[in-house]
Amino acid sequence: MDTTLQDPLVGQVLDGRYRVDARIAVGGMATVYRALDTRLDRVLALKVMHPALAADVSFVERFIREAKSVARLAHPNVVAVFDQGAQGAYVYLAMEYVSGCTLRDVLRERGALRPRAALDILEPVLAALGAAHRAGFVHRDMKPENVLIGDDGRVKVADFGLVRAVGSVTATTGSVLGTVSYLAPEQIEHGTADTRADVYACGVVLHEMLTGAKPHTGGTPAQVIYQHLNEDVPAPSAAVPGLAAELDDLVAVAAARDPEVRPHDAVALLALVLEARAALTEEELDAVPPQALAEERDGADDRTSVIPRALASGADVSDRTSRLETPPPLSPPPARSERWTPFGGTPRRGVLAAVVAVLLVLGVGGGIWYINSGQFTRVPALLGQSEKAAGKRLSDTGLDLGRVDRAYSDTVERGTVISSDPKAGERIRGNGSVSLVVSRGPEIVAVPDVRGSTLADARRALTKRGLAPGMVTTEFSESAARGEVIRTDPAGGAERHPDSAVALVVSKGSPIDVPDVTGRSAEDATAELTELGLKVRIAPDRIDSAEENGDIARQSPAKGSRAAEGDTVTLTVSKGPRMIEVPDVVGKDADKARSALEDAGFEVKVDRPLISFSDTVASQSVDGGDRAPQGSRITIRIKGL
Q: Which residues are catalytic?
A: 141
Burial zone of 231 (CB within 10 Å; 0-12 exposed, 13-18 middle, 19+ buried)? exposed
Q: State the Cα–Cα distance between residues 474 and 490, nearest whole angstrom.
A: 16
Q: Which residues contact 334 (CB under 8 A, 6 or more apart)?
A: 306, 349, 352
**Cα first-last separation, the chain:** 110
CB 378 within 8 A of CB 394: no
Long-range contacts formed by 115-118: CB under 8 A, 24+ apart: 115/210, 115/243, 115/244, 115/247, 115/280, 115/284, 115/285, 115/286, 115/287, 116/285, 116/286, 116/363, 116/364, 116/365, 117/209, 117/342, 117/343, 117/359, 117/362, 117/364, 117/365, 118/206, 118/209, 118/210
CA distance linking residue 485 with residue 492, whole number of Å: 12
**CA-to-CA separations, 48 to 9, 165, 213, in angstroms, rounded:** 10, 24, 33
Distance of CA 432 to the CA centre of its chain: 44
**In sequence order, which residues have a C-beta less than 8 Å from that of residue 322 and are 6 or more positions away?**
27, 28, 29, 30, 174, 175, 178
**What secondary structure does DSSP assign to 573-628, as a single string?**
EB--PPEEEPP--TTSBHHHHHHHHHHHT-EEEEE--SS----BEEEESS-TT-EE
Q: What are the distances in angstroms from CA 383 to CA 190, 387, 411, 416, 417?
A: 39, 10, 12, 7, 5
H or E segment to which residue 21 belongs = strand 18-26
What are the C-alpha distances in Å from 206 to residues 143, 384, 417, 635? 10, 19, 24, 89
Q: What does residue 4 show for φ and ψ, rounded to 5 degrees?
A: -65, -25
Pairing mode, if any, of strands 433-439 and 147-150? unpaired
Pairing of strands 633-638, 603-607: parallel
Omega of the bond leading into 422 within 30 degrees of 0 (cis): yes
Q: Please report, as a single letter, which amino acid is at residue 451.
A: R
The string of DSSP letters for 345-407 reads S---SS-HHHHHHHHHHTT---S-S----SSEEEPPP-TT-BHHHHHHHHHHHT-EEEEEEEE
